């Protein structure tokens, strides 16, 4: 295929001891991340599409020098390697592509670089940042043979949630101590809620919905994070089945940030053809120049969290039965066409092509 993006990784700067970027999985193989319960199954099922990009050993033909290890891990363990890659990019007069996909966020002080991110604040994005979808398994393919079943509209909206939703003080005293200033400052302005631990925001939203006569709820409360084998409270296969069933059997699914400002559940809900309740914490979403997420999602500004039940109820009341079903179809189609890893690849590479051209022009 013509005009594919070429990535160059200098041989003398490769390190076998580090986990490498998922962009390299089609070439170097899928790495097993021992603690993450569902990461490997995602990439065993679907992967980035190599029709649109390739590795090259010829630096002159490369569009980017590629730093193949996570930026934040290297910043902690071997920062001099980051410096070496930045130096190589400057020497070869090529932009540096950085995998900054992590729960951690922060500025990357490297000129002529492009960073891939997914847990970031929309208001802090730079033109050289690319927001990618969370690497989410296509749950409809995995658990429903790819067959989408529609829910009919009923009088009261049913909101589902299965996940980590409690944080006992005696188990997490440091978390509460750290959160206390943000909690108190939140009385002055809700802006500080943006930086609170996500499970505390979840608990607040779940409590409002559970107590509201306007909403029917299907909540499965977890005492720990189910996506990590070390913290899952029971067999992860059972937890996964319950998670999928909860989304499928709900009209809407509450999608609210976790420790990082992103929601894997949001993309998993779309994959199952259900409507997310997207609690907007200034969360950056991918392809917003192409996708109008409000066509198939219900947005709730984090500053209006106290009214979440009323917002959902009013939306549900106003939408027609036909529109309600159409939104479910749109959710699935958008995930399948744009946000699944293989489908997203050409859009990512086109964005990289544009940024590479603009950076070359600005030299």
Q: What domains sit in the chain, N to C, each tagged with a CATH number?
A: 5-133+340-361 (3.40.50), 139-339 (3.40.50)
Residues of the chain with pLDDT under 70: 1-2, 33-40, 166-196, 224-233, 359-363
Q: What is the pLDDT of residue 234?
A: 72
Q: What is the 3-state secondary structure (H, E, C) of the chain?
A: CCCCEEEECCHHHCCCCCCECHHHHHHHCCCCCCCECCHHHHHHHCCCCCCCEEEECCHHHCCEEEECECHHHHHHHCHHHHHHHHHHHHHHCCCEEEECCCCCCCCCCCCCEEEEECCCEHHHCCCCEEECCCCCCCHHHHHHCCCCCCCCCCCCCEEEEEEECCCCCCCCHHHHHHHHHHHHHCCCCHHHHHHCCHHHHHHHHHHHHHHCCCCEEEEEEECCCCCECCCCCCCHHHHHHHHHHHHHCCCEEEECCCCCCCCHHHHHHHHCCCEEEEEECCECCCCCCCCCHHHCCEEEEHHHHHHHHHHHHHHHHHCCHHHHHHHHHHHHHHHHHHHCHHHHHHHHHHHHHHHHHHHHHCC
Q: What is the pLDDT of residue 191?
A: 65
Under 8 Å between Cβ of 123 and 255: no
Q: What is the pLDDT of residue 164?
A: 80
What is the spatial distance between Cα 186 and Cα 293, in angstroms, rounded to a whole number? Answer: 28
Q: What is the pLDDT of residue 33?
A: 66
Q: pTM for the full model?
A: 0.90
């Amino acid at each position: 295929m013509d005009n594919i993006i070429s990535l160059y990784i200098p041989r003398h700067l490769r390190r076998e001891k580090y986990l490498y970027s998922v962009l390299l999985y089609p070439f170097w193989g899928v790495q097993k991340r021992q603690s993450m319960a569902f990461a490997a199954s995602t990439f065993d099922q679907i992967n980035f599409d190599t029709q649109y990009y390739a590795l090259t050993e010829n630096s002159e033909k490369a569009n980017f020098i590629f730093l193949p290890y996570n930026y934040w891990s290297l910043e902690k363990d071997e920062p001099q390697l980051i410096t070496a890659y930045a130096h190589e990019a400057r020497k070869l007069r090529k932009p540096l592509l950085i995998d900054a996909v992590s729960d951690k966020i922060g500025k990357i002080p490297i000129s002529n670089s492009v960073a891939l991110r997914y847990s970031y604040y929309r208001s802090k994005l730079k033109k050289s940042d690319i927001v990618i979808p969370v690497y989410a398994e296509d749950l409809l393919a995995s658990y429903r043979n790819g067959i989408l079943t529609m829910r009919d509209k009923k009088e009261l909206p049913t909101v589902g949630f299965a996940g980590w939703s409690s944080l006992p003080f005696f188990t997490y005293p440091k978390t509460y101590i750290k959160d206390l200033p943000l909690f108190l400052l939140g009385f002055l302005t809700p802006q500080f809620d943006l930086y609170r631990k996500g499970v505390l925001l979840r608990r607040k939203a779940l409590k409002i919905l559970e107590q509201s006569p306007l909403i029917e709820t299907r909540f499965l409360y977890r005492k720990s994070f189910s996506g990590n084998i070390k913290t899952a409270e029971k067999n992860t296969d059972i937890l996964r089945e319950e998670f999928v069933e909860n989304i499928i059997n709900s009209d809407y699914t509450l999608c609210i940030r976790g420790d990082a400002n992103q929601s894997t559940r949001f993309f998993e809900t779309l994959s199952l053809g259900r409507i997310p309740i997207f609690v907007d914490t200034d969360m950056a979403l991918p392809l917003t120049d192409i996708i109008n997420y409000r066509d198939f999602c219900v947005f709730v500004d984090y500053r209006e969290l106290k009214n979440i039940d009323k917002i959902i109820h009013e939306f549900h009341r106003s939408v027609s039965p036909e529109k309600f079903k159409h939104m479910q179809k749109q959710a699935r189609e958008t995930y399948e066409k744009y946000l699944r890893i293989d489908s997203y690849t050409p859009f990512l590479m086109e964005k990289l092509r544009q940024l590479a051209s603009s950076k070359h022009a600005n030299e």
